[in-house]
Amino acid sequence: MQSQKILEEFDNGDLKISFEVSHDEDIDNIIKSWLPDIEVCEPKKYRDQIISELHEYLDRIEN
């Protein structure tokens, strides 16, 4: 993916990656395509959004 840049590779195999996107919807799609192997660090609004959506999803499937 051309919009993807690996910023850092860690000894444990983790990667710090940045993406260049043109629409907020692209961000959502990228994040969800990497689940469960992703942790959104920044921007905080996307981190909070994905955490909230995952909690809502878990609440639905647990009930």
Cα separations in angstroms, 54 against 4, 8, 9, 10, 19: 24, 26, 26, 26, 21
Domain count across the chain: 1
Q: Buried (b) or exposed (e) across 23-59, using 16+ Cβ within 10 A?
A: eeeebeebbeeeeeeeebeeeeebeebbeeeeeeeee
* pLDDT at residue 24, rounded to an integer: 81
User: How do residues 5-50 score in pLDDT, each as one tens digit?
Assistant: 999 999 999 999 888 888 888 888 888 888 888 888 888 988 999 9
Residue 46, token pair as written in the block: 């996307």
Q: Please give the backbone phi and psi of residue 18, each rounded to the nearest 5 degrees, phi first.
A: -115, 150
Domain of 19 in residue numbering reads as 4-62
Q: What is the pLDDT of residue 20?
A: 85
pLDDT of residue 2: 66
What confidence score (pLDDT) does residue 55 get?
A: 95
What pLDDT score does 59 carry?
95
